[in-house]
Amino acid sequence: MLSKCINKVIILLVFLLITGCQKVIEGNLIIKNVNIINVENGNIIEGQDIIIIHNTIAEIIPHNLSTNYSAKTMIDGTNKYVIPGIFDGHTHVNNYKNDLAKFIHYGVTSIFVTGGSTCTNQYYAEMRAMGTQDSLPSPRIFHTSQHFIKQGSHPVKTYANSSWKEGETVFYLKDTLQIERLVKKVSQYPIEGIKLTIEDGPDPPFVERLSQSFISKVQKEAEKHDTRVFVHVSDNEELKMALDAGIYNFVHFTGVDLDFEKDTLLLKKIYGNPINWITTLMLDKSFMYPLYPEWIDKIRKEGVFNIESIEKVNDSTYIKRAHINNALMKDYLKLDTITIKDVVKFQVDDIKRLQKNDVNMVLGTDTGNAFIFPGYSLHEEMQLFELGGMAPKDILKMGTINAAIMLGRDDTLGSIDIGKYADLILLDKNPIENIKNTRSIQMVIKNGKIQKRMKEK
């Protein structure tokens, strides 16, 4: 009798010990039994439970441990894949009230806005307010200053419209004293850095590029205020000018063509410095769009984009531009006919080599230009890399963790790790097998909250 009693007491003690140790986790959202893509190495961690508390990834636990937890929303992730929200590193948002929801629809949970004719301080402030809330669909917003350019040059010359106003959406560089004042002024804004354009513009009338002394002065003044400079370069010469000034953030790859045997001095400067380089292969594709009706048909079928942006395909200006660009590319590549693969392949080859040498390459589309569509075109950008021969895992890395590193936000964004913001995309198919699978979106989560998409499946 006594021994029975002792046994009961022991069982009770063991029970109390077990239940006392077992942590009951209360999340507001749990994705159960999902395959997590580690974007830093392309590995898949199978069968995990992701517990989200408020806006943060609180725990990641193997599903088969059947931990004691509860949540208001449980999502079954069986046979599905989860990647971090993707990041467009080069955008222009001409109408944020229309465009921001489109980014979210396509899983783009962060964007970097690099100036534009709409970007007054007020416009930036309104966009930032959209980016910090999570009830209305909007990606997180990061942005540069307004454009610093030489008067009469790109982009004001190239994209002429009445919204370019000196002191509001663009600053014309005039002399060194003025540069000092300007850099000091914009450094007080909540910017990621200064947007500086060296190029005079691709079209006549040709003016001189921004001078080396002005480029160097902007960088020197920026350093005093701990502000970075993001530079628009359009060829190897401008790249060299930026590097000579000590600028290490480039917003385009387009126009640069590196010869890895001959450009040794240039490469030495690139490899020896902490470079961030945004890709924008979509620019090349956008120039070709009017010649490929099947591309625009796909856009129509999305049912997301407005008719004016689609109908530009019938505009004679863009058709003419497409033919001129086609002829230039044929000449440049010494080919009788060219395809989009020819146009991107040599650039992807260069980018792969740069990536191997630890250059931080970041995906960007230059959305806001004709035939570059908010959100949708980031998936096109990724597919262009696959077409050019890059492995999906390397492409995903450029669109997630590399972008977060560029903006110094890798402590909170860019990968699926405990303590980071819960910005996630749930996919039906494995993106490591085929990058097109980033389009198999089942759900977009930003800041721990399921986002309303434009067209629910």
Please give the residue ranges that form the binding site for Zn ion (CB under 5 A): 366
Please report, as a single letter, which amino acid is at residue 45.
Answer: I
Residues 238 and 110: their CA atoms lie apart, in Å, by: 28
Minimum CB–partner distance for residue 235 and Zn ion (Å): 16
Q: Give the nearer residue to Zn ion in terms of CB position, either 134 or 366.
A: 366
Q: Give the nearer residue to Zn ion in terms of CB position, either 284 or 366.
A: 366
Minimum CB–partner distance for residue 156 and Zn ion (Å): 13
* Dihedral Cα 344, 250, 403, 449, nearest 10 deg: -100
Q: Give the nearer residue to Zn ion in terms of CB position, either 133 or 158.
A: 158
Residue nearest to Zn ion (CB): 366
Q: Give the nearer residue to Zn ion in terms of CB position, either 221 or 366.
A: 366
Q: Are 162 and 198 contacting, i.e. CB atoms less than 8 angstroms apart? A: no
Q: Give the nearer residue to Zn ion in terms of CB position, either 81 or 87.
A: 87
Q: Give the nearer residue to Zn ion in terms of CB position, either 117 or 438.
A: 117
Minimum CB–partner distance for residue 114 and Zn ion (Å): 5
Instruction: Write down the residue that tokens 């490591």 correspond to.
Output: 432
Tell me which H or E stretch contains 220. helix 212-224
Minimum CB–partner distance for residue 90 and Zn ion (Å): 6
Minimum CB–partner distance for residue 247 and Zn ion (Å): 16
Q: Are 39 and 400 contacting, i.e. CB atoms less than 8 angstroms apart? A: yes
Q: Give the nearer residue to Zn ion in terms of CB position, either 69 or 164.
A: 164
* Dihedral Cα 356, 360, 364, 366, nearest 10 deg: -110
Minimum CB–partner distance for residue 218 and Zn ion (Å): 18
Minimum CB–partner distance for residue 284 and Zn ion (Å): 14
Number of H-type helices and E-type strands within the chain:
15, 18
Q: CA neighbours within 13 Å on the CB side: how many for 340?
A: 21
Minimum CB–partner distance for residue 217 and Zn ion (Å): 23
Residues 175 and 180: their CA atoms lie apart, in Å, by: 9
Those residues with Cβ within 8 angstroms of residue 72's Cβ, 6 or more apart along the chain or in another chain: 28, 29
Minimum CB–partner distance for residue 239 and Zn ion (Å): 16
Q: Give the nearer residue to Zn ion in terms of CB position, either 90 or 393.
A: 90
Say if residue 405 is exposed, middle or buried (CB neighbours under 10 Å; 0-12, 13-18, 19+). Answer: middle
Residues 5 and 376: their CA atoms lie apart, in Å, by: 69
Residues 430 and 91: their CA atoms lie apart, in Å, by: 27
Bridge partners, 421 (sequence order): 56
Measured CA to CA in angstroms, residue 143 lies from 46, 166, 277 at distances of 36, 18, 16
Q: Give the nearer residue to Zn ion in terms of CB position, either 283 or 398.
A: 283
